[in-house]
Amino acid sequence: MLRKILANFIFILNILILFFLFVYDKLEFPNWMHVIGRMHPMILHLPIGMLIMVSLLVLLQHHFKKKSSRPILLLTLYIAAAAAALTAFMGIILSSEGGYDTVLLNRHLYTGVAISLLAWALVYIFQVDTKKKRWFNAALVCSVMILVLTGHMGASLTHGENYVLQPIQDKDETELVITDSTSIYEAAIQPIFKAKCFSCHNEKKAKGDLIMTSIESILKGGENGVIWVAGAPEKSELMKRVNLPEEHDDHMPPTGKPQLNESEIVLLHQWIRAGAEVKKAWTKFDTADSVRIVANPFIQKLQQAASAEVSYSFPFASAETIEKLNTPYRTVAPFALKSPALKVDFFLRETFSRAKLEELLPVKEQVVILNLSNMPVTDEDAKVLRQFTNLEKLNLQGTGISGQAIRELTELKKLKSLSVTGTSVDGKSVEPIAGISSLQEVFVWNTKLTPADVDRLQKKFPSIHWDAGFIPDSSEMLRLTQPILLNESNVLGDNDRASLKNNLPGTTIRYTLDGSAPDSISGTVYKEPIPISQYTILKAIACKEQWYCSEVAQFALFKKGFTPTQATLLNAPNKDYPGIGSQTVIDFKKGTADNFRDEAWLGYREKPFITLFHFDHAPDINSITISYARNISSYLMPPTSIEVWAGNDQNKLGLISKVNPPQPTGMESSRVDGFTLPIGKTNYSFYKVIAFPVVKLPDWHPGKGDKGWVFIDEVFFN
């Protein structure tokens, strides 16, 4: 009975498959059939396994009694043929969605149909050719060979060209070598796309008509247009897709593919927000720029991987020596695994001295990279530097060196890269360094070198790249960068002040604390650090003659205030965003709106945030501030309502304040925000704070009708 059912199923499905092939160009399937088609990758393993099982049974059948093995083999053949027909049928439906290389798809399609027909033929031949089995064995061998070929082409469609054979073939792809001139796109962004996006968006398989293997094809976009909007990550299709829940149909990469981790998502967000630069060198971003900060770990990883391939003849320094040389103001670390080469970075200008440099002499043979950026290095210190004979990269940006130091550095015969940006060297004094045969690049922007000096040096020493940075036309007005907040945290203690800075000398910073936007004539001129008494939005702008003022920078500043003795979560957060429990909201550790998956945040969606705070010694409190994340594209919204209950008995609390924070009216940049509830002068022992998430996202939101989230990292009592 089962065989008869399977025989009819195989017959009908193969006839239907052949019909589909004849009218393939005119096929249009309803949406519900595409659901069946997308099950093709799930079911295709069944015919593969069954045909392999048939082959094994044929090879081993002489070990079994003929009468007992024949029924098992025949049933296995029926199942294999039915599975092959069903897989081919689903594959035809899936292929109609498009987004694949046409030639490769057609080959995969026809060989898949061939397997279905051969499996059907095997059932018939097995029952007819009962003696010599020559035709059956020949058909079985042919089926297995086509099966391997079909699988290879299917893997190429889904995982990239030549996926199966790639591990045993020579790699002809040139590994990226990161230099100071490498664009931030090549150094940090493209490697993410290559690892997580290329398999579905390449010349052979362009899902959504989007190809991401080159910047030119990316900028053309796909069926949904361009994938990013420079300066607006919240409006960028790329960020919308990666921030959707993984189970969402539009989430990218799709379920089952390698997913972007939090660091990669943050980097993409910051890079797009900074303008999505594709040509600007990663070293041209200020060291305090958020893009540079989040990109550095990615770039260093690639640099270390590249350096691991370089063989050094000098010995390893002992682990004890390296550990002894590491301090809070100096790091000494291997530049790559299993390599004796060391990288040294100095921090905090005030702690630097020549003695700190001389302490490195025990490992002078192993140091190949030395970063002294913005340290008070003098020409005398160069006499110490010349002893690091294996030095390949030296960063003296913003130091006090002059031409005298350059003459000392000519002893570094293995030097490949030198940065003297922001120093007092000129065209004549820097020239001796060109005598080093290994030297490849010298960074001289923001020095006394004129464009004529750089042009002369480039012509005289063409094997060296003399990088003068961007030299603007004297008649061209450029826009200043935004002021930066120097405080390590935006949570200020009683004695802390908000410190601002702009790196361009002669710049005037104006700021406001009342929410209004400063401009070139309004706002207070910044002269000294600003005292903050409560939660405050600090807005600042940088201006300078013959420059366009910067964009307005906005900083949310929180006053640390009183620390509760204990916090108790009366509603548990979502299991995916548990923070570190109740301590999360009283540890003064702030999160970022882009990296809302770290342990700084408590996330609520199905139920409100409800936390009870207890003070052993009740202080006089005038206000309570809730710090929350606004990341509209990721459904992180302000609370719809906030309530504060208080009293000296935790079982008898009274409502003392309730507000409904204003809700956003459209997409906006993500940020950490705060909302303050004035409560008068109170000194209760217990405070219960409740924050309600959005029940239904508004119509303008891409997820309209869905539930929103409320993410809280701190509650402040002032």
> What's the per-residue H, E or C state across 343-407?
EEEECCHHHCCHHHHHCCHHHCCCEEEEECCCCCCCCCCHHHHCCCCCCCEEECCCCCCCHHHHH
Domain shared by 260 and 374, yes or no: no
Domain shared by 702 and 659, yes or no: yes
Domain shared by 687 and 578, yes or no: yes
Which residue did the predictor score with more confidence, 49 or 515?
515
Total count of domains within the chain: 5
**Among the three residues 559, 591, 623, which one is the final residue of a domain in this structure?**
559
Which residue did the predictor score with more confidence, 602 or 48?
602
Residue 414: CATH number of its domain:
3.80.10.10
**Among the three residues 467, 499, 519, which one is the final residue of a domain in this structure?**
467
Residue 286 located in a structural domain: yes
With tokens 């293997």, the residue in question is 213
Lowest mean per-residue pLDDT among 140-144, 414-418, 608-612, 679-683: 140-144
Instruction: Give the pLDDT of residue 168.
Output: 47
pLDDT, tens digit, 9 for 90 and up, residues 531-590? 998 999 999 999 988 788 988 999 999 999 999 999 999 999 999 899 999 999 999 988
Residue 378 located in a structural domain: yes
Residue 176 located in a structural domain: no
Residue 114 located in a structural domain: yes
Domain shared by 421 and 491, yes or no: no
Residue 570: CATH number of its domain:
2.60.120.1190
The domain in which residue 647 lies consists of: 566-717
Residue 255 located in a structural domain: yes
Domain shared by 154 and 268, yes or no: no
Residue 253 located in a structural domain: yes
Domain shared by 453 and 483, yes or no: no
Domain shared by 199 and 324, yes or no: no
Domain shared by 149 and 276, yes or no: no
pLDDT, tens digit, 9 for 90 and up, residues 580-631? 999 999 999 888 887 777 789 999 999 999 999 999 999 999 999 999 999 8
As given in the structure block, the two tokens for residue 86 are 């069903």
**Among the three residues 123, 141, 168, which one is the final residue of a domain in this structure?**
168
Domain shared by 549 and 576, yes or no: no
pLDDT, tens digit, 9 for 90 and up, residues 237-277? 888 888 887 777 778 887 767 788 877 888 888 898 888 88
Backbone angles phi, psi at 235, to 5 degrees: -100, 0
Mean pLDDT of the chain: 84
Mean pLDDT (whole number) for 314-323: 91
DSSP bridge pairs for 690: 610, 643
Domain shared by 608 and 668, yes or no: yes
Domain shared by 318 and 458, yes or no: yes
Compute the chain's Rg from CA coordinates.
33
Residue 354 located in a structural domain: yes
- 332, 375, 385, 386, 629 from 381: Cα distances, Å: 19, 11, 7, 9, 47
With tokens 């399977």, the residue in question is 6
**Within a 13 Å sphere around the CA of 240, how many CA atoms are in the beta-carbon half?**
17
Domain shared by 242 and 336, yes or no: no
Instruction: Give the pLDDT of residue 528.
Output: 93
Residue 679 located in a structural domain: yes
Instruction: Give the pLDDT of residue 64.
Output: 60
